[in-house]
Amino acid sequence: MINLFRTAFLVIIILLANCTVANAETDKSPEENRVDLIGKVLDKYYLDFAPLGKVELPRIIYDEEGLHFFRSTTHAINSQRGFTDAAFLDSGQIPTGHVKPVSYELARTNGTEIKMDLSITNHLFFFWLAAFVTMGIFIPLSGKYRQGIGRTSEPKGGFQNLFETFVIFIRDDIAKSNIGEKYEKFTPYLLTVFFFILFMNLFGLMPWGVSSTADITVTAVLALFTFFFTQAYASKDHWQHIFWFPGVPTPIKFILLPVELIGLFTKPFSLCIRLFANMASGKILIFALLGLIFIFDGLFGAVVAYGTSWLWIALTLFVYLIKAFIAFIQAYVFTILSALFIGMAVEEHHHEEHAH
């Protein structure tokens, strides 16, 4: 009986869809329905509170005349200080009066080049927010331990208990097991990096939130921190293994030198790309799945789009849950790989010359 209903339902949908296709073809072009997937991942000069509106962020522009500060893009365009939207310049006509920005890219009206755009973007905003949340949680928490709560007595309250679990996990399972004896020096860095990345990732799951780790500049800076940290504390053996690999014949040493040098730089590069690609792809995937509704609307008509939308919404929910999982996993992976690289660099080998 249920099967019969299901078949009838499908047949009706397909029949209705055929009717609507004829209408759809005339008034909709595929170009109009196009969703800019990559554009959703790029950073913007405003916080998007759709459908409520946008909050524009301050613009800082550096050019030949020095630094220019504006409280928003709209203010920059209407300030009569020689700035306009790049889209107006491209179209050739600069509108007068109070105008709203279109592309949010600023350009000089006299044609001189903008040397540097130091504007605050939404990725940077959430980057700072994550930093403040990290500090706001852990500075009071460390004060508690300084008073002795948690060290001489039991940790107090769910909050402290929750974060103590994480901190001990990172100290024991990540720092101690991968770095070895010298783990105490590196645990603060690993803890900071873990919670900072975790909060940045989790902001991407909140409504109107953006995960700043979906920006390659953020992950590149984080990977550079790990890189410099690793090199700064590297042992003599680490450098010896790169420039003059011990225990192998001399010709092999010259072959191993470029290999080890490349390996030195692929480590931070892969850290950076891994985190960025994971977070950005999750975002693109959600938009792509929701976009299927509109693609179906364009291809088969509104009825099929409505009829199948539950499927795409269910899939989006699934991807969202995966993203929540990935947010933790990627923070963990970044931290454990940082610990691994640091551990490899600070380790002191006690090998004899003929051991290899």
Partner 1 sequence: MELGYLAAGLGAGIVSLGAGLGIGMIGKAAMEGTARQPEAANDIRTSMLISAAFIEGVALFGQVICIVLALA
Judged by the rule CB under 8 A, the positions of this chain that interact with partner 1 are 38, 173, 177, 270, 273-274, 277-278, 281, 329, 332-333, 336-337, 340
- Residue 187 CB, nearest approach to partner 1 (Å): 17
> What CA–CA distance (Å, rounded) separates 152 from 130?
31
- Residue 268 CB, nearest approach to partner 1 (Å): 12
Cβ atoms of 336 and 329 within 8 Å: the answer is: no
* Beta carbon nearer to partner 1, 79 or 270: 270
* Beta carbon nearer to partner 1, 290 or 326: 326
- Residue 179 CB, nearest approach to partner 1 (Å): 14
* Beta carbon nearer to partner 1, 42 or 67: 42
> What CA–CA distance (Å, rounded) separates 201 from 323?
9
Residues β-bridged to residue 233: none
* Beta carbon nearer to partner 1, 38 or 232: 38
Q: What letter would DSSP give residue 53?
A: E
- Residue 84 CB, nearest approach to partner 1 (Å): 27
Cβ atoms of 293 and 311 within 8 Å: the answer is: no
* Beta carbon nearer to partner 1, 99 or 333: 333
Query: Which residue is associated with the tokens 């460390």?
Result: 142
* Beta carbon nearer to partner 1, 302 or 333: 333
- Residue 101 CB, nearest approach to partner 1 (Å): 24
- Residue 103 CB, nearest approach to partner 1 (Å): 18
> What CA–CA distance (Å, rounded) separates 255 from 8?
70
Cβ atoms of 90 and 153 within 8 Å: the answer is: no
Reduce the DSSP state of residue 95 to 3 states and report it: coil
- Which residue type, as a one-letter code, is found at position 150? G
- Which residue type, as a one-letter code, is found at position 133? V
